Amino acid sequence: MAFAPGHLAAHPVPSGIVGALALGGYQLLAEVGGVGAGRLGPQAFLLVAPDPDPNLPDAGTQLSLHHHRVRDDAEMAAFTQLAAQLGYLRLSGYRLTLERHGLRTKISVLDPATGGIAVTIPDKYPGRLSFGGGDTAPKLLASLRALPPAGPPADTSNPELLRQVLVALALQDDSVSGAEAVELADKALELARGDHALDPPAALEAAKRA
């Protein structure tokens, strides 16, 4: 399912959920394929737009992997990268199914080849006393990056989709913030338009050197 850039900004988490979780005024750090990372003070979380289903009412943007106390910038960066990787997988053919747990939502990443669940993103971040550390953002990110491609990336002849692919690839770099990733993606998009031989990774590398 393709979501236009800016979908989460235009479709925020419903006010009732935001109010109940005291997340009013949260900041959207990055967005790819209808998946984003949000922040409010020390809190971090994932935002996900569900695939439209004509048989069900629109559930609106949902919140997942809610972490009340992010320790440092590296942990926050992992949330941004996790959102970008989920969006990239969605653009390449994986499906994201959402299961509401109270005010938050669990995300299942479905392999389109088998229909099986490849990775599950829990609704809440594990506590410090959880056995084995639980499913932290860095661990979940590593699991997602280890998944085989479901197919080619989104149709790169579509500028909007290509831009989202470029943002996701840019955010794989730990040193690149959400705002910087957007700037790099815009530069890479212009380069790709001028040289059709450039695939997305090559266009991004050229943008970094420009």
What's the pLDDT tens digit per position in 78-96?
A: 999 999 999 999 998 899 9
Give the model's pLDDT for residue 156.
Answer: 74
pLDDT on residue 135: 84
SS3 content of the chain, % helix, strand, coil (to 5): 40, 20, 40
Task: Give 37's pLDDT tier (boundaries 50, 70, 90).
Answer: very high
Q: What is the mean pLDDT of residues 176-205?
A: 90
| More reliable by pLDDT, 12 or 1 | 12
Q: Which residue has the higher pLDDT, 155 or 22?
A: 22
Contact criterion met (CB below 8 Å) for 124 and 104: yes
Q: Could you state, in order of their start, the residue ranges of all structural domains in the chain?
A: 7-145, 159-209
Tell me, what's the pLDDT at 132?
56
Q: Identify the band that residue 99 occupies on the pLDDT scale cut at 50, 70 and 90.
A: very high
Q: What is the 3-state secondary structure (H, E, C) of 108-144?
A: EEECCCCCCEEEEECCECCCCCCHHHCCCHHHHHHHH
Q: Work out the average pLDDT over 150-169.
A: 82
Q: What is the pTM of this model?
A: 0.89
CA distance 95 to 202: 27
Residue 45's pLDDT is what?
Answer: 97
Residue 153 has pLDDT above 70, yes or no: no
> What are 82's two structure tokens?
């996790």
